[in-house]
């Protein structure tokens, strides 16, 4: 089975399809999938859910799925990690949003009920998601506060329409891998907590079994997952913050600046300072192009 690993905090995709372009796959992030129009079936973890018109699906980490399209379908995918919705690097670190997402996923699995139960609810969600897509197309940045608060509003809207109570039927391996991934995201700043020995003790596995289990569920080793996530955090800070390289090294648990430089060069074939300069030039070119476009418009 194909496995998609996302290290960005947030990705948004909006597209129209007559045929589904992806194989059966799972992933390491949450997904809110909204269908604006179309007809077909969503095959989710072995179950087939028919859709016709405005429909919303919620997916947790490691849910396997694909679509069978019968009529041209317009999709929006909101794909985000637990770090985005409630972790230390989200625009507003609040664990309640992560808990709300967990609650929604549990309720949908337990009741097998439609997430949107009325046409009015579906229309409101359609409008909200289209606004999120518009904001994303304008900024394409995972740090956008308007997008973050719009997604919060969406989750709040969905949360209000589900009953209170937790399910014991969620598959244990999905719960465990989600727990491990969430732990890695939160402890990425503490190198000692990312050692395999510590992780094995924390989750009650042997080192050997934990490594096998994680790779079976995600398609990558724990070490590769940590390195790729840490690399994304470094790139994020180089692009969107004014932190010095020394401050970034200290925050992310590198022994010194040389260690950070070696790590980054290994994965990106350039130094952190060169990367920061490169993305800075790209952003400046985009801004200049937009200024020229604006100046050419009639007033």
Q: Domain containing 16 — which CATH number?
A: 2.60.120.10
Q: Residue 92 — pLDDT band, cuts 50, 70, 90?
A: very low
On whether both 17 and 151 belong to a single domain, the answer is: yes
The answer to whether residue 283 is domain-embedded is: no
Bridge partners of residue 55, in order along the sequence: 35
The answer to whether residue 284 is domain-embedded is: no
| pTM summary value | 0.59
As a whole number of angstroms, the distance between CA 36 and CA 56 comes to 9
pLDDT in tens, 166-201: 344 345 677 788 889 889 988 989 999 999 999 999
Within 10 angstroms of residue 280's Cβ, the number of other Cβ atoms is 12
Question: Can you give the pLDDT at residue 59?
Answer: 83
On whether both 184 and 146 belong to a single domain, the answer is: no
On whether both 100 and 223 belong to a single domain, the answer is: no
Q: Of 127, 160, 193, which residue constitutes the final position of a domain?
A: 160
As a whole number of angstroms, the distance between CA 93 and CA 87 comes to 5
Split into its structural domains, the chain has a count of 2
As a whole number of angstroms, the distance between CA 102 and CA 296 comes to 48
Q: Residue 99 — pLDDT band, cuts 50, 70, 90?
A: low
The answer to whether residue 233 is domain-embedded is: yes
As a whole number of angstroms, the distance between CA 81 and CA 7 comes to 8
On whether both 104 and 178 belong to a single domain, the answer is: no
On whether both 136 and 180 belong to a single domain, the answer is: no
Q: Of 135, 160, 185, which residue constitutes the final position of a domain?
A: 160
On whether both 152 and 180 belong to a single domain, the answer is: no
Q: Of 160, 193, 211, which residue constitutes the final position of a domain?
A: 160
In angstroms, how far is CA 298 from the centroid of its own chain?
40
In angstroms, how far is CA 123 from the centroid of its own chain?
25
Least confident of 70-79, 196-205, 212-221, 243-252: 212-221
Question: Can you give the pLDDT at residue 101?
Answer: 57
% of the chain exceeding 70 in pLDDT:
77
As a whole number of angstroms, the distance between CA 132 and CA 116 comes to 18
Task: Mark residue 40 as left, alpha or beta (left: phi above 0; alpha: psi -120 to 50; beta: remaining).
Answer: left
Structural domain span for residue 246:
172-278
**Average pLDDT, whole number, for the chain?**
80
On whether both 100 and 208 belong to a single domain, the answer is: no
On whether both 20 and 141 belong to a single domain, the answer is: yes
On whether both 149 and 178 belong to a single domain, the answer is: no
């Amino acid at each position: 089975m194909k496995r998609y690993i996302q290290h960005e905090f947030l990705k948004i995709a909006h597209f129209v399809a007559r045929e589904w372009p992806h194989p059966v796959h799972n992933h390491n992030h949450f997904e809110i999938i909204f269908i604006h129009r179309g007809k077909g079936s969503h095959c989710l973890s072995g179950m087939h859910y028919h859709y016709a018109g405005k429909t919303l699906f919620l997916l947790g980490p490691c849910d396997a799925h694909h679509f069978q399209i019968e009529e041209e379908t317009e999709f929006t995918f909101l794909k985000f990690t637990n770090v985005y919705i409630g972790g230390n690097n989200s625009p507003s670190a609040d664990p309640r949003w992560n808990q709300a997402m967990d609650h929604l996923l549990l309720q949908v699995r337990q009741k097998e009920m439609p997430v949107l139960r009325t046409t009015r609810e579906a229309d409101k969600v359609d409008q909200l998601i289209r606004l999120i897509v518009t904001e994303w197309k304008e900024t394409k940045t995972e740090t956008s506060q308007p997008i973050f608060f719009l997604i919060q509003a969406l989750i709040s809207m969905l949360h209000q329409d589900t009953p209170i109570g937790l399910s014991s039927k969620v598959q244990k391996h999905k719960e465990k891998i989600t727990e491990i991934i969430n732990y890695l995201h939160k402890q990425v700043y503490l190198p000692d907590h990312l050692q395999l020995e510590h992780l094995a003790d924390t989750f009650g596995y042997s080192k050997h079994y934990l490594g096998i289990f994680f790779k079976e569920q995600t398609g990558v080793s724990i070490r590769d997952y940590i390195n790729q996530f840490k690399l994304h955090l470094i790139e994020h800070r180089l692009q969107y913050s004014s932190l010095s390289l020394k401050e970034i090294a200290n925050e992310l648990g590198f022994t010194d600046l040389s260690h950070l430089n070696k790590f980054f060069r290994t994965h990106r074939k350039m130094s952190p300072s060169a990367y920061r300069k490169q993305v800075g030039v790209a952003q400046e070119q985009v801004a200049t192009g937009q200024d020229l476009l604006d100046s050419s418009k009639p007033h």
